[in-house]
Amino acid sequence: MVADPKLVAARRDAELARQRLLQSAHLLQERVAPSRLANDALDTARERGTAVLDTVTAAARRQPRAATAIGLGLLAFVARRRIFRLFRRKPRHHDQPSATPRRALPRPPGDKA
């Protein structure tokens, strides 16, 4: 049985189209793989972080006093709770008994003293 040449060509074209579609799907799957996306995000963050660090370093070299003031301000902000604890009022302990009498605790029933 001889196949129609148009039918053979259509099947061949369909097979080629299916292979291209599968190849595109594999490429797309590689692009959106979580590990690939995470690595791309880390690379971008490193590049931007390096750029920011270079900019900040250059500015600090141009104006060292301003950079020192900013650094001390950030340090004070981060350590603010410890700094406040250093300067808060502490209760005073007196050697003499207080002027206000202390209340005696009630005795439990049946306790004879």
Amino acid, res. 101: P
Contacts of 107 (CB under 8 A, 6+ apart): 113
Tokens of 3: 């196949």
Going from N- to C-terminal start, the domains of the chain cover: 5-86
Query: Which stretches does DSSP call E strand in 1-113?
Result: none
pTM of the model: 0.43
Is-contact 67 60, C-beta < 8 A? yes
Token pair 């690595």 in the structure block, residue: 39
Summarize pLDDT for 27-59 with one digit per residue, the tens. 988 888 888 889 999 999 999 999 999 999 999
Summarize pLDDT for 55-94 with one digit per residue, the tens. 999 999 999 999 999 999 999 999 999 998 888 877 666 5
Tokens of 68: 């020192």
Tokens of 20: 């291209």
According to the model, what pLDDT value does residue 29 have? Answer: 87
